[in-house]
Structure 1
Amino acid sequence: MNRMNQINLDVLMEISKNIYRTVHPFLGSREGGKAIGIGFGGDLTRFIDQIAEKAVVKYLKEKGLSCILIGEEGGVQKIGENPEGYLIVDAVDGTTNAVRGINFSSASLAAASKDSLEDVEAAAVINLFDGELYVAEKDKGARLDGKRITTSKASELKNSIVSIDVSSTPERLNRVIPVMKTARRVRSLGAASLEIC
């Protein structure tokens, strides 16, 4: 990770674990599912989303870390006086699953030195139900709970399992039908970041 950027893989791991501890008691609860408003991303914000993203901000401030935080609920926020790098967060990916107690929801975080996806240096995804932690660093590969993992060896779509958000508009769905027809299997489990792990 760029030395100028204070948000590194260790920080992402700590924030992930902090989100897990914060939201875990509210999984499958009525309180966790309480509607709060509409988030920056345009989706309904529920209590569990709000407390998860607030936990991120609190952690950054307590540790004296400075960055530009881009969150699904709160949008773009300057944290600290001299932001170094970007922290992109979906503190609860799969909110519907989380509030219904369906064991497939995660928090996803990425640290970038600049404001583009190609500048992402490290990322973390934590399963909010069991705490499994996936991490990756640019040019260093990925790990699950410390153990190295690899991508699928499938090189053709016909041999692949594809994840597609089928709750999209009919127009968007029509665009992905050719992919759905070609892929070996299509899944939509409700938490994209966890699905790609």
Structure 2
Amino acid sequence: MRDYIIGMGKFVYQKVKDQKGTLKNRLVNGYSPGGDAQFNIDAAAEDAVFEYIQKQEVPIAFYTEDGGLKLFGENPQYILIVDPIDGTRPAAAGLEMSCISIALAAYKPNAQIKDIEFAFLLELKTGAYMYGDIYSDCIHYEGFQGELPNLSEVKEIKNMFWS
């Protein structure tokens, strides 16, 4: 699944990057079920996720902020949790704090954060990304100048700092 989610992230990035002027358009097109304002760039990214899934022809469940839960194919083995524009406002401002976020877990009706097996983050400003999974001690990354920032060894969620 590593190649699948890295491929998806790069595909969405390219589609978003090709949307000249869409990112800076601040017209609110509605609100997600979670209450977040949705912009043109969010719709373009959501469409790119769906396009990628269709092209791969792999049975999979996927959840996006705008689209909710959808099943593609029969008997999906995995569920993708995708925020194709995680941080729309920082992205519009040209900050690094926006990314394409993808997590993947074995599909089951009550999947939770603790079930995530694969994770991927790609910076919208630079295209640099990092990927990790529970099967390997190393993090795969590309596009960063030098080594990745010092990653914390903290494993208890209650002791983590979230941004």
- Give the TM bin, normalised by the shorter chain: 0.7 to 0.9
Give the Cα–Cα distance (whole angstroms) in 1 for the partners of residues 16 and 90 of structure 2: 13
Give the Cα–Cα distance (whole angstroms) in 2 for the partners of residues 148 and 101 of structure 1: 23
Match of 1:71 among 45, 64, 75: 64
Return the offset for 1:82.
2.9
Do the aligned partners of 1:26 and 1:32 also contact (CA within 8 Å) in 2?
no
Aligned in 2, Cα 1:152/1:86: closer, same or farther, shift over 3 Å?
same
Give the Cα–Cα distance (whole angstroms) in 1 for the partners of residues 122 and 20 of structure 2: 14
Return the offset for 1:45.
1.0
Return the offset for 1:100.
2.7
Match of 1:137 among 133, 139, 162: 133
Do the aligned partners of 2:23 and 2:41 also contact (CA within 8 Å) in 1?
no
**Structure 2 counterpart of 1:82, which letter?**
N
Instruction: Look up the match of 1:35.
Output: 28
Return the offset for 1:120.
1.2
Measured against aligned partners, the alpha-carbon deviations of 1:85-130 in whole angstroms (never above 9, x if no partner) come to 1000111011001123334310100110131222211111000111
Task: Give the ranges of 4+ consecutive aligned residues of structure 1 lying more than 6 Å apart after TM superposition.
Answer: none
Aligned in 2, Cα 1:45/1:9: closer, same or farther, shift over 3 Å?
same
Return the offset for 1:22.
1.1
TM-score, normalised to structure 2, is 0.80
Return the offset for 1:153.
5.7
**Structure 2 counterpart of 1:151, which letter?**
L
Match of 1:119 among 94, 115, 120: 115
**Alignment gaps of 5+ in structure 2:** none
| 1:52 matches 2:45 | yes
Instruction: Look up the match of 1:151.
Output: 151
Considering only CA atoms, is the larger Rg found in Structure 1 or Structure 2? Answer: 1
Give the Cα–Cα distance (whole angstroms) in 1 for the partners of residues 45 and 92 of structure 2: 13
How many matched pairs? 153
Give the Cα–Cα distance (whole angstroms) in 2 for the partners of residues 71 and 17 of structure 1: 17
Give the Cα–Cα distance (whole angstroms) in 1 for the partners of residues 161 and 61 of structure 2: 32
Aligned in 2, Cα 1:28/1:152: closer, same or farther, shift over 3 Å?
farther
Aligned Cα root-mean-square deviation (Å): 2.8
Give the Cα–Cα distance (whole angstroms) in 2 for the partners of residues 30 and 127 of structure 1: 14
**Alignment gaps of 5+ in structure 1:** 1-7, 164-191, 193-197
Instruction: Look up the match of 1:4.
Output: none
TM-score, normalised to structure 1, is 0.67
Do the aligned partners of 1:41 and 1:75 also contact (CA within 8 Å) in 2?
no
Do the aligned partners of 1:61 and 1:80 also contact (CA within 8 Å) in 2?
no
SS state of the match for residue 124, structure 1?
A: strand
Choose between structure 1 and 2: higher helix proportion. 1
Return the offset for 1:132.
0.5
Give the Cα–Cα distance (whole angstroms) in 2 for the partners of residues 137 and 19 of structure 1: 20
